[in-house]
Amino acid sequence: MTVIVIVQVFYRYILNHSLFWSEELARTLLVWLTFIGTSVAYHRCIHPGIDMFYRRFSRRMKRYARMGVHGASLAFFLVMIWYGSQFAYFVRLQTTPALSIPKWVIFLVIPISGLILALHALAYLSEEFTREGRKP
């Protein structure tokens, strides 16, 4: 994506010629990388979080807090799957102007990343339910 943007800037400002497809492709890649990157960050537990109160909780309360967070996250990810699928279906007949890519391909990243995120949330919830006596 970075290479595409650099080439686009070079062509536009140095050669005074614009590549008609570069902006659309860069935008599409940015959307896909953002959603897939979110699932990677959630899997590795490196997503941003506010732990000001969490640090003061007891071990048992931390466990319940994690279960609540992963449960709420799972609910949101299921909403992503449902509405992302509906939206991809809604735009199934449309294509992008420059690349003529079907728009459902672009918006399919929402339910795909929602599914990946939901699987991670289920794994974390399963781990919390089976961990009971172990340290967090």
Domain chopping of the chain, boundaries? 36-131
- Residue recorded with tokens 């709420």: 72
pLDDT value for 99 = 92
- Asked if pLDDT for residue 132 goes beyond 80, the answer is no
In which band, very low, low, confident or very high, does the pLDDT at 136 lie, cut at 50, 70 and 90? very low
Q: Distance of CA 31 to CAs 26, 38, 39, 107, Å? A: 9, 11, 13, 9
pLDDT value for 135 = 52
Structure pTM?
0.85
Question: Which residues make Cβ contacts (< 8 Å) with residue 35, sequence separation at least 6?
Answer: 109, 110, 112, 113
In which band, very low, low, confident or very high, does the pLDDT at 42 lie, cut at 50, 70 and 90? very high
Judging by beta carbons within 10 Å of its beta carbon (0-12, 13-18, 19+), is residue 113 exposed, middle or buried? buried
Mean pLDDT in residue range 98-120:
96
